Amino acid sequence: MTKHVLFIVTNAAVIGPHSRKTGFFFAEVAHPFDVLDKAGIAIEFASPAGGWTPYDAYDEKDPAQKGFLESKAFRRLNHSRKLAEVDAADYDAILIPGGLGPMVDIQRNADVQRAVVRAWSTDKLVSAVCHGPCSLLGVDLGDGTPFVRGKKLTSFSKKEEYDYARDDVPYELEDALRGEGAEYSSASNWEPHVVVDGRLITGQNPASAGPLAKELLAALKDRA
């Protein structure tokens, strides 16, 4: 039976006081897509506003990125479904890729939070990479307890942000996750690091996107 994964992608093209160009980080969609698509997983795309999803950091020398850019799936991504019109319970997993864009319109977005709660409360897998775990901030399952409290996870680290976008982001994601009680861990800058805590799967940075997808695929197969 085919498994289905919903990617929840940013619509934000700029961020911060200097109007830095942004979007989703291309590898963080392309690499998971490559892993999951080759395994026969069906993938759909949604975004807060629906429609066009800007991207950042495309690398034409990366076969997975070039293949995704030229695919029918990439065209579908740019006609993404409006998240408010999608039920996360219809999928086996959700995946929130990063880039700086999510720090504009994914973080503390009511429709995104609703999707996380819906997926989690219907026994689905929740995964996010790099800045994507900002989607977990402010989420609670109805008892007032932060969703991330006591959960092992990772995200783009404070050390990485210092050299990348410190002047552009509204807050330090690592600090915010720790502030809500997450058991945060990270590896060295730009090194792959994936944390699996039950049905929650998170990756630290772009290098973690492919490894995260492999963990997600393994989890999906375990639930066949």
- Let me know: does 195 contact 202? Beta carbons within 8 Å: yes
Average pLDDT, the chain: 98
- Let me know: does 104 contact 15? Beta carbons within 8 Å: yes
Nearest to 161 by CA among 213, 215, 204: 204
pLDDT band of 147, cuts 50, 70, 90: very high
**Which tens digits make up the pLDDT trace of 114-136?**
999 999 999 999 999 999 999 99
**Which tens digits make up the pLDDT trace of 71-102?**
999 999 999 999 999 999 999 999 999 999 99
d(CA 186, CA 134): 15
Q: What is the dihedral of CA 201, 202, 203, 205, to 10 degrees?
A: 150
What's residue 164's pLDDT? 97
What's residue 120's pLDDT? 98
Sequence letter at residue 207? A
- Let me know: does 4 contact 217? Beta carbons within 8 Å: no
175 CB-contact burial (10 Å; exposed 0-12 / middle 13-18 / buried 19+): exposed
Q: Is 127 helix (H, G, I), strand (E, B) or coil?
A: strand
d(CA 83, CA 49): 7
What's residue 218's pLDDT? 98
* Strand 183-184 relative to strand 14-15, pairing: unpaired
- 21 sits in which H/E element: strand 20-21
> What's the whole-number mean pLDDT along residues 161-168?
96
What's residue 224's pLDDT? 72
Q: Is 74 helix (H, G, I), strand (E, B) or coil?
A: helix
d(CA 111, CA 161): 26
Nearest to 48 by CA among 93, 13, 21: 13
**Which tens digits make up the pLDDT trace of 26-50?**
999 999 999 999 999 999 999 999 9
What's residue 79's pLDDT? 98
- Let me know: does 199 contact 152? Beta carbons within 8 Å: no
Nearest to 4 by CA among 138, 128, 124: 124
What's residue 121's pLDDT? 98
> What's the whole-number mean pLDDT along residues 63-72?
98
* pLDDT above 90 coverage of the chain, percent: 99
